[in-house]
Amino acid sequence: MRTFIAVRVGNDDDVRRLVAIVTAEYSPNIETLEESMAVFDLIGRQCPDSCAENILSKFPSASIGISGNMASAILLARESDGVNDGRRGEDSGLGHLSLDALGAPDDTVRLLAAWGITDVGGLAALPEDELVTRLGPEMSNLMDRAKGREFRQADWNPCANQFVWTRHFDSPVRDVEALQFVISSAVDFLFAGLRRSCLGTAEARVTLAVGAKSRAYTVKTVIPTLNERLWLRLIALRIESEPPGFDMTSVGVEFIPARLRSIQGDLFSANIAEPERIGLVVSKIKKLVGRGNVGVPGVLDSWHPKPFSLDDEIATLAKRLPPQDSTEKIRPSRSFFYFPKLTRVSVFFNGSVPAVVVVQGKKHRIVSAGGPWRVDGGWWNDGGWRRDEWDIETDGGALLKMVLLADGDYYLEGGYD
């Protein structure tokens, strides 16, 4: 069973010490959070109680939350003092916390207080279905937190898995043999950390420098390996084949840990497909539904009724991501989806404004509408088109696009998310 432990310590220096202790003794998976907190997981036979005692012996004022749910462990460490084990009891150990700890809106807290509910345990005891029906769907998220069901994606801190070694020389190093001796010390030191973190590596980066002048080498293997003799030989051959051409005053060595492979977690869960196999999956889908029906959508600079195209090359997904050092910001926007085919509807107007739309025999009141907008084009060839467009909102909250085509009938083309 997987157990998460969240620890709140005094300051950022304590967090750095905590990260070193956890990665050395308990788990390579650790995430640092704001408020001088860190969370990590225990897998297998490690005892959470002895782990908490060990951490308290080194950080006496730490607050520790233990739970099978990551979000609950963080909540316990943030809102309580001492050690709080959320694995015991029906309320996931959160029952003693105040409703403010869940981030509930002030009006909701006041309403629940009027009912005599002042803590998380009281909220968790209420009938969930009736509460959501009466106060709205946002109560479902509060109940997930109160009952220890809230899902939080782990973002394991990559700083804990950086394996970098640097050395500055008192006097310049002139021959490669002396350099190999220094690099062997770096490999021995870094591989100890890789083994401790249960990681392998398939890429090494070596940087040789003198003052502002430097030379970088990248060495890769076909598969991840921790064979030190192999790595030393590969690095030496690379440097010998391309000598730096200057005396070296510093050397830096970094090993890039290989990404962990996904495996089947238990008997009843499916194996997670590797990301690099997406091309194989897409090829199978194309064979099933047709090559022209699968691809990466791209917006066209056109007023055509369906101004998008499908790029057959899935690799364009990666090309669209801005580089890490880019200042470009990705702004959220409302997306539009097209129905598989146009749906014919009947529309009743109040004057010149659509008031009711009938979809497959069902009436929907239109609470707001924008339009009509006349769009046309392609009249210079056989693909000409002309129509009027409306954006409508129904009493059910749906945002739809309604079009009047040349045949005189109204259709629903799609909607907005």
Q: Which residues contact 135 (CB under 8 A, 6 or more apart)?
A: 108, 111
Amino acid (1-letter code) at residue 259: R
Name the residue among 308, 207, 311 with its Cα closest to residue 255: 207
Q: How far is CA 217 from the centre of its chain?
A: 32
Omega into 372 within 30° of 0, i.e. cis? Answer: yes
d(CA 407, CA 387): 10
pLDDT score at 218: 92
Residue 279 in contact with residue 286, Cβ under 8 Å? no
Report pTM: 0.45
Could you list the beta-strand ranges (E) of 201-273. Answer: 201-210, 213-220, 248-257
Q: Which two tokens stand for residue 168?
A: 């500055």
- Measured between alpha carbons, how far is 299 from 322 in angstroms, rounded to an integer? 17
Amino acid, single-letter form, for residue 233: R
> Nearest 5°: CA angle at 334, between 331 and 335?
110
Q: What is the pLDDT, as a whole number, of residue 6? A: 92
Q: In what order do the strands lie in the sheet with 30-33?
A: 30-33, 37-42, 3-8, 63-67, 83-85
Q: Given this model, what pLDDT does residue 246 score?
A: 83
Question: What does the alpha-carbon distance between residue 105 and residue 99 come to, in Å, rounded to a whole number?
Answer: 9
Tell me if 52 sits within 8 A of 64, measured CB to CB. Answer: yes
Per residue of the chain (417 residues), give pLDDT as tens. 678 999 999 888 888 888 888 877 888 788 888 778 999 988 666 788 889 899 999 999 999 999 888 888 999 998 888 888 887 655 567 888 888 888 888 888 888 888 888 888 888 888 888 888 888 888 888 888 888 888 887 777 656 667 889 988 888 887 777 888 889 999 998 998 888 777 788 899 999 988 888 899 999 888 888 889 999 999 988 888 888 888 888 999 999 988 766 555 566 655 655 555 666 677 778 778 877 777 777 777 766 777 677 776 665 555 555 555 555 555 555 677 888 788 888 988 888 888 889 988 888 898 888 888 888 776 677 666 778 888 988 888 888 888 888 788 888 888 887
Looking at residue 262, its pLDDT comes to 57
Calculate Rg over the CA atoms of the chain: 30
Q: 255 has which bridge partners?
A: 163, 204
338: β partners: 414
List the one residue out of 365, 352, 361, 360 whose CA is nearest residue 396: 365
> Cα separations (Å) of 197 from 49, 175, 225, 359?
22, 34, 14, 59
